Chain A
């Protein structure tokens, strides 16, 4: 189909999350039909981002500045660090504008089966930050999966001796949810995480 250049373009596009062979073909065709307005600007944006964007040495966030715009923002609450698994999770929390403190990107969760040990995660910088005397609270905001729960357990064990308050995000009732449609596991988690009202 149209020579090796097009095949290679489609093959690379198809490897991106959310795209398959079919949608990659559509995207490639759209770009090829409008090279000046769609393809060349995209190519230069890709090259520019690949050159400039790096993980922040402090928190692991992706930004063209280091420290990243969040770590550099003096208006943010520097006594609180929210630990998330990936940059996507940071983006989700920033979209919601609910966390005014700093972040720390772990880069994964512990999984013996997948061969991911504490050494493979972005943990030593977190322990250094948590122990620097400024930080008073570390919020663990990992997913409610087996690996996420295990990792939060492990992190809490390491963070508590540093004298910081270790909390984790709540599990249970969804907003606008009714009790009678919740499954037993979620209901038990919600009851376990009840708080004074």
Chain B
């Protein structure tokens, strides 16, 4: 893993991005608190920062939707960030290219590292990691398991970029198998080939998920998120259970056999009833043991923040520097004790951190260290203390 990592965000520029025609912002501190009324563009700013790492950003938006409504000119948006790293400053830029540019592709965003195309997106990922928490994630425990699985997978990707490929390969093999079963083209050798792919990629993905859960729990138990209360994560997945008792190659065999034996039932159900896509993630308060499903809205929020802080600490250990933290309205639903603990934990982590809120008072615990900014469509203004 690369030693180089961003220590501070020095400058952020936005061009025709969401509600911003043009923005140049120079944070003066590692932690910035961005305050403004609803609709002033706080989340857009965090989304812009989240796009400086590979992926679809914190809203999972399509590239075409990021362009400012009514943007004039060529119809291209851009986001650029300047970071201070251990070996000096570096610039990461992203956006769409004007049509006709040598490597322009419709609805495809490109990266620039210090003004030149990077060798690969992995080069960007080795310089900058970002994790975020948005109000949408508060629904994680009311919604289907797929949302929790995606949340868990994002945590795994940030530490193991190869995980994305395993999950994509697994899903591709499964989608092909579902189609074959639905069309009742009973070609057992074809199905066996796809089940072999599901077994190899599914076991690799499950092992990576289980590894992340174990590392995260160990880090949280050590108090990396302190004084914020620690969460405890569980992975609910039969493949991970098998992996605890048997080597990976045996588990692949077990999954292949299970899929081959379940074809008739899977055809009727229209989906595979066994596999890595059935995994679910559970969270509980480490001290009380209360699971997230039974916890209050505020407690659930606290559990998620605990996970995000623990994960940030994990990245900091693995890569030598904390990731960029993007927290959208983290103080909502939190009581005063939790807010104070959050501020203390953020001060301890110390990486580039952007926090939004409608009310600066919620972040009084950051008063001495963070820069406070008022957000408006025209730009960011320092907020008087």
A interface residues, Cβ below 8 angstroms from B: 20-22, 110-113, 117-118, 145-147, 149-154, 157-158, 183-186, 188, 192
Contacts and interface: CB of A to CB of B under 8 A. Distances in A.
A23 B374 CA distance: 47
B192 A157 contact: yes
Contacts of A145: 169
A112 B193 contact: no
A183 B165 contact: yes
A104 B201 CA distance: 28
Given A112-B176, A184-B204, A185-B204, A150 B162 contact: no
Contacts of B173: 146, 150
Contact of B162 (A21, A112, A184): A184
Interface in B121-145: none
Interface stretch (B177-185, B332-340, B353-361): B177-185
Q: Which 7 A-B pairs have the closest CB atoms?
A: A153-B193, A183-B162, A150-B193, A157-B189, A112-B179, A112-B176, A146-B172
Contacts of B160: 183-184
B162 A154 contact: no
B162 A185 contact: yes
A154 B194 CA distance: 9
Most buried by B among A21, A146, A152, A192: A146
Q: Is the interface of B mostly helix, strand, loop or mixed?
A: helix
25 contacts: A22-B100, A110-B193, A112-B176, A112-B190, A113-B176, A118-B190, A146-B169, A147-B176, A149-B193, A149-B196, A150-B173, A150-B190, A150-B196, A152-B193, A153-B192, A153-B196, A154-B187, A157-B189, A183-B161, A183-B162, A184-B208, A185-B165, A185-B166, A185-B201, A192-B249
Interface of B: 100, 160-163, 165-166, 169, 172-173, 175-177, 179-180, 183, 185, 187, 189-190, 192-194, 196-197, 201, 204, 208, 248-249
A185 B193 CA distance: 18
Contacts of B197: 146, 149-150, 153
A157 B189 CA distance: 6
Given A183-B165, A185-B166, A113 B175 contact: yes
A112 B165 contact: no
Contact of B190 (A20, A21, A110): A110
Given A21-B100, A112-B177, A112-B179, 7 more contacts: A112-B175, A117-B185, A118-B190, A150-B193, A157-B192, A183-B165, A188-B204
A113 B179 contact: yes
Contacts of B165: 183, 185
B267 to A, nearest CB: 13
Contacts of B183: 112
Contact of B189 (A22, A149, A158): A158
A111 B208 CA distance: 27
Contacts of A151: 193
A157 B185 CA distance: 17
B189 A153 contact: yes
A147 B100 CA distance: 33
A118 B191 CA distance: 12
A138 to B, nearest CB: 15
Contacts of B185: 112, 117
Contacts of B208: 184
A154 B173 CA distance: 14
